[in-house]
Structure 1
């Protein structure tokens, strides 16, 4: 059946693309997106205010089934962390994210997780409980919310990825690695100083 073979080939190519993207191999060298941001040291990228693009309308239910959205935190600096319970680098950065959340929560900074590729919410709940995570995470098992980030912007290309949205709702910074409290300080502090 020729149609079945084409379908299987297309499905295989889509799966390979997904794996490469999650492995961090899906970046596009050279495009105009690269010209818009300044790479810092250690995998931290920032965008000057004039070059920032609006963050997408991210929304869904948190791990307890309550609705949550990025736009619900309008006027705040928002740290968006993409993670999976199965991801060892995500486990490594969890404590630092929670420490930074506690440090900045009274300074107009909100943290929001996006849990992906966990097919059972129980795994995600156990991850958050085990790491003492106090901020909400959207349950996004099929990556629907992640795909809303515009290609050619500071879009996530690997897990974990941490994105920082400025007070005007624009994508301002990205870390495509397990972040430390120092990394988060370097991404958040300049945005708090902006008026």
Structure 2
């Protein structure tokens, strides 16, 4: 009887070490566990670029802007489109707002479209944010989560802000999780325009 127990103990020890080795650091899990009450999970600033051959299907979405205008991703064909997922109380969203507006102004004459996707705020709150930070491009009212849900392959539901660059076929060419670096996003947009 001693032998099977010894083997069982050896197997348990090996499993414990294996599971411990698999439990690598997960910054998003650490943020959730922190319990600091900040009500968002910051992206890690990672940038993902997708070569044309590896890009998925075109993004398909139809949504309403705060002013009631309907937008449809089918209308974006032939143009590079930038989607920024945000909400007013998100500190990184506040930090990047002026840079996003600056890039919108720089690239709009090249046919680049910019849309905010506000995942939480009623119209008055979103409008106040846009006035305070000088944001002139429109935002989609996504309080119901429809757009965010349709984009979960690219946008983790709680990782706001997230910014996507869609190529001229409406496919995700690049993604930035977290605070945008202006120069990096500028380069990603320029690359997509040049394709």
Asked if these proteins are the same fold (TM beyond 0.5), I'd say: yes
Look up the match of 2:37. none
Task: Compute the displacement of 1:82 (Å).
Answer: 0.3
Q: Residue 42 and residue 60 in structure 1: after superposition, are their counterparts in 2 closer, same or farther (change >3 A)? A: closer
Q: Which residue of 2 is the match for residue 126 of structure 1?
A: 128
Aligned residue for 1:23? Answer: 41
Structure-2 residue corresponding to 1:189 = 190
**CA distance in 2 between partners of 1:58 and 1:125 (Å):** 23
Contact 1:161/1:177 (8 A) holds in 2 = yes
In structure 1, distance between residues paired with 2:124 and 2:75:
25
Aligned to 1:31: none
> How far off is 1:42 after superposition?
5.0
Q: Output the aligned Cα RMSD.
A: 2.2
TM-score, normalised to structure 1's length?
0.74
Higher gyration radius (CA): 2
1:169-193 alpha-carbon deviations (Å, 9 max, x no partner): 1111000111132021121111122
How far apart are the structure 1 equivalents of 2:41 and 2:191?
A: 29
Aligned counterpart in structure 2 of residue 146 of structure 1, from 139, 145, 148:
148
Structure 1 residue runs without a partner (length 5+): 1-16, 26-40
Give the total of aligned pairs: 157
Alpha carbons 2:86, 2:119 under 8 Å: kept:
yes
In the alignment, what sits opposite 1:156? 155
1:136 to 131, 135, 138: 138
